[in-house]
A and B are shown apart, each in its own frame.
Chain A
């Protein structure tokens, strides 16, 4: 409704200018700090690692171009690197699921509590950010140490869930808070029991919140290296650790770049898949109605 209203009243040209004005700064920012670095990494992944870090010159002394797909051949030459990518996806999925299970009831509770309490409760959710991330991780090390779960996959999941919980709670809460209570009342009047009301009304309406929370948790966990390094055991290496190792410890920029690009590709494919699935579901829902 508002859309149609706007379309008829505003002059298209000034509206387009405003749109450009609003979207230009973030676009420039993303091009400068995401797209360009990604392209640099694409280029780096085809070059040769330098003897003392960095990259070998693009042209060899004899003038020939030093570009090759050796790094990719090495990366895909056996299963070991892909195995780690798979494991990282698994850890990210488990973390996201646990975050969702823990956050949903809490977000619902906050959204349903009296308005004057809500801001305070949200403040409590973000309060941990007041302390430095590493200090909080070290606190977990102190707590988990005597419980004999430190340095295990369980400890990694515990740490990951703890750190990312607010990123799930907040989008869920902002979504749930906006739900019109009249819808639930109507469902109740029509005789829907409590569980059906949740499943048929609240849950479908909250899906956008669920998806944004999932993205905010899944993607950072996929690249996280600090928590597995500090809390993981001898086998808990994730793709983030591997990338960090290539750039810092091993000074192999091409391999590090190639691994980063694999990670970016995985994220893009998964995000694209989620978008397509969402579109399809909506189309089906519309067709069914």
Chain B
């Protein structure tokens, strides 16, 4: 799958210090900030858990609660898409105990033999997971992965504008059908992601995004080429701000980003509200899971962390903080009712059936599709 950034920053947080050289990082941090609380990690044998995760995926409050509970230190580094994480690990980054990849990246890591099996005996709360989110294709029997949260790739929109223009918001036609697009020309962004956009077009056409038939791909390309003149740009991150500010009225993107745009618009007191809906034709679902990296030094702490996060009250934070969907049954009662009741964040069962998780293609097809994608951008 293609990049799935969920934060406006395309670049990793500046906090990133290689955990393989914590002492050096601490020396630098201490030199810069005399009050930096580095001491625990620089003492040998200290209990430090290194987590490599999406920006903004675990709240400070949750992290602090975990540190108090386990009597250890949690250090986080951030990535903004799976490919960035895979590239860094491919380049030899070691020392991360835990990662939070999306399904297709879990599959890649398993095939690369980069993961340590999970010991379920250490995870008494594993049973909290909803049955529909365990035992997935990317890791049958959950030997390596424990689901944490999910997002849906859907359509976010300016509710007031859509109402005024009388446009439907529950169908992919809103971003693909020139009949609707002509009313919102230049006010639409779509993801700058070959896999995500092609998948949306395939779902709109009623075909499978996993199809390997060139005819399907060409049909999707034609749909995209017909709609492209009406789009403002391909955007993976700027659409959050553009929606919240009012520059853009319709955006194809991730549910957690739309949640953020909605909250931002609300906080800024904008005269409009942002809404988001899963199209009735179906959508792409991205399930992120905790996995243990082989090069991690503290699998014991990693298991404690996973089990802590499986506890209902802690698991609920990710939904309350970033509006991500939650695979945890026990979390449900701790989630804000407006979020728990939002069908775009927690899709009802009949919609879940129409959701697809993207799988990676083999290299030759990847190259052909990338050529198709370049063609879309140049024409």
Minimum C-beta distance from A14 to chain B (A): 39
- How far in angstroms is the closest Cβ of chain A from B12? 12
A142 interface hit (Cβ, 8 Å): yes
A80 within 8 A of B: yes
In angstroms, Cα B108 to Cα A92, docked, is: 38
Complex Cα spacing A54 to B366, Å: 13
Closest Cβ of chain A to B114, distance in Å, is 10
CB-nearest residue of chain A to B9? A134
Interface centre among A48, A150, A229, A234 (most CB of B within 10 A): A234
- Bound-state CA distance A232–B232 (Å) is 9
A80 touches B247 (CB 8 A): no
Residue among B10, B231, B374 with most chain A CB within 10 A: B374
Given contacts A54-B90, A80-B378, A248-B3, contact A49 B232 (CB under 8 A): no
C-alpha spacing A229/B11, complex, angstroms: 13
Q: Which residues of B contact A81 (CB under 8 A)?
A: 374
**B374 and A242 form a contact (CB under 8 A):** yes
Known A151-B232, A246-B370; contact A251-B241, beta-carbon cutoff 8 A = no
Interface size on B, residues (CB 8 A): 44
Q: Mark B226-241, 1 if CB is under 8 A from A, else 0.
A: 0011011110101001
- Are A249 and B374 in contact, with the CB atoms below 8 A? no
The residues in B between 69 and 121 inclusive whose CB is less than 8 angstroms from any CB of A are 81, 83-84, 86-87, 90, 108, 111-112
Bitwise, B355-376 to A at CB < 8 A (1) or not (0) is: 0000010110011001101110
Distance A233 CA – B231 CA, assembled complex (angstroms): 8
Q: Is the CB of B377 within 8 A of A235?
A: yes
Provided the pairs A145-B242, A230-B238, A234-B228 are in contact, do residues A248 and B87 lie with their beta carbons within 8 angstroms?
yes
Check B255 for interface membership: any CB of A closer than 8 A. no
Question: Which A residues from 37 to 67 make CB contacts under 8 A with B?
Answer: 48-54
Chain B residues with Cβ below 8 Å from A141 are 238, 241-242
Q: A195: CB under 8 A from chain B?
A: no
Q: Is B329 an interface residue (CB 8 A)?
A: no
A72-85 vs B, CB cutoff 8 Å, 1 = contact: the mask equals: 00100000110110
Query: Which of B81, B108, B233 meets A234, CB within 8 Å?
Result: B233
Q: Which residue of B lies closest to A145 (CB)?
A: B247
Interface contact B112-A49, CB-CB below 8 Å: no
Out of B2, B111, B186, B367, name the residue touching A52 (CB < 8 Å).
Answer: B111
> For B111, what are the chain A residues with a Cβ–Cβ distance below 8 Å?
51-52
B378 in complex: contacting residue of A52, A83, A255, CB < 8 Å: A83
CB nearest to B374 among chain A residues: A80
Complex alpha-carbon distance, A289 and B255, angstroms = 72
B17 within 8 A of A: no
| A234 with B234: CB separation less than 8 A | yes
For residue B123, CB closer than 8 A to chain A, the reply is no
Measured CA separation A81–B375 after assembly (Å): 9
Whether A248 and B360, one on each chain, are in contact in the complex, defined by CB atoms closer than 8 angstroms, is: no
Q: Is B18 part of the contact surface with A, judged by Cβ < 8 Å?
A: no
A237 pairs with B377, CB closer than 8 A: yes
Could you tell me if A52 and B112 are in contact, using CB atoms closer than 8 angstroms? Answer: yes
- B42 adjacent to chain A (CB < 8 Å): no
A252 interface contact, C-beta 8 A: yes
14 contacts between A and B (CB under 8 A): A51-B111, A52-B111, A53-B90, A80-B375, A81-B374, A84-B378, A138-B8, A141-B238, A150-B247, A229-B10, A247-B87, A249-B2, A250-B194, A251-B366
Known: A52-B111, A80-B374, A249-B2. 20 other contacts (CB 8 A): A49-B363, A50-B363, A51-B362, A74-B367, A80-B375, A141-B238, A141-B242, A145-B245, A229-B192, A232-B233, A234-B231, A234-B233, A234-B377, A237-B377, A237-B378, A242-B374, A248-B81, A248-B87, A250-B194, A251-B366
Residues on B facing A (Cβ under 8 Å): 2-3, 8-11, 81, 83-84, 86-87, 90, 108, 111-112, 186, 192-194, 228-229, 231-234, 236, 238, 241-242, 245, 247, 360, 362-363, 366-367, 370-371, 373-375, 377-379
> CB within 8 Å of B: which residues of A?
48-54, 74, 80-81, 83-84, 134, 138, 141-142, 145-146, 148, 150-151, 226, 229-230, 232-235, 237, 242, 245-252, 255
5 closest A-B pairs by CB: A151-B233, A49-B363, A145-B247, A237-B377, A248-B83
